[in-house]
Structure 1
Amino acid sequence: MDADRRLRIVLVVVGIGFVAAVYPLIHLWPAGFRWQAEQPEYEQMIAAIYAVLGVFLLRASRDPLGHLSLIRFTMWSSLVHAAVMAVHAVADPGERAHLAGDVPALAIVAVVLAVFTPRRLR
């Protein structure tokens, strides 16, 4: 399988995950994906942003090299988001479950995108 096809598959998997998994995970595993105090409005906003990002990643899967800035934005924003959440999870003992929930989930997204995205155009 060539590198372009692998990146396309990664974009589809991440895109579907962002569209379909973010909001349900908040409710299925609150300790790992819901920050306290519970704020349904905030959760809906975050889920909506990730759903839109997921749709655009699905669209980018058709022509990954034409959407490198979106892919890199997703990679870097996921890494920064994970880092900020990790700091808060370490600082607040009541939020430590996030170190096994949304923190590694976003870090994995960042690493996988970094591994499968070309550094430069051919």
Structure 2
Amino acid sequence: MSRELTLKVVMIVIGLFFLAGIYPLVMFLWFWPHANDIVPMFLSLYVTLGVFMLIAARSPTEHRSLIWFTAWSSFAHTGVMLAQAYKNVSGRPELFGMSAVLIVIGLLLIVLMPAQPASVRGGD
């Protein structure tokens, strides 16, 4: 399997994974307990990012900035989650597991990042 095809498959899997957050988002808003207002905000961002990852999977080279954003925002979100889990701010041990998932997502995207097109690098 070529590197580009592998990246496309990874982007589709990540896009579907993020898009799967639509169900808990809708359920959370439908039965809104007002106990935690942060969860639906993050879910809405990840669902939106999932849609754009699926669109970008058609031509990853043209969507390098989205791939970089997805990778580095995953690392940033992981840093916050690990700090919260370590300080027991939220009292949610599942943050460690989600952190691992986001680290894998970020690493996969960076390792598979497509090269810049020759026109951008200064080629003909």
Task: State the TM-score, normalized to the length of structure 1.
Answer: 0.78
List alignment gaps of at least 5 residues for structure 2.
28-33, 119-124
Residue by residue over 1:27-60, the C-alpha shift from the partner in whole angstroms, topping out at 9 and shown as x without a partner, is: 9xxxxxxxxx941x42222111101100000000
Query: What's the Cα RMSD here?
Result: 2.4
Aligned partners of 1:23 and 1:47 also within 8 Å: no
Determine the C-alpha separation between the residues in 2 that align with 1:56 and 1:92.
33
More helix by share: 1
Aligned length: 110
1-side partners of 2:107 and 2:22: how far apart?
Answer: 18
> Paired residue for 2:43?
47
- TM-score, scaled relative to structure 2: 0.77
Moved more, 84-93 or 102-111: 84-93
Is the radius of gyration larger for structure 1 or structure 2? Answer: 2
Cα–Cα, structure 1 residues 98 and 45, in superposed 2: closer, same or farther, change >3 Å? same
Matches within 5 A, 1:2-81: 2-21=2-21, 24=24, 38-39=35-36, 41-81=37-77
Rounded to whole Å, the distance in 1 between the matches of 2:22 and 2:95 is 14
1:111 alignment partner AA: L
Q: Percent of aligned positions with the same letter in both sequences?
A: 34
Q: For structure 1, which runs of at least 5 residues remain unmatched after alignment? A: 28-36
Residues 111 and 57 of structure 1: CA distance in aligned 2, closer, same or farther (over 3 Å): same
Where does residue 31 of structure 2 map in the other structure?
Answer: none
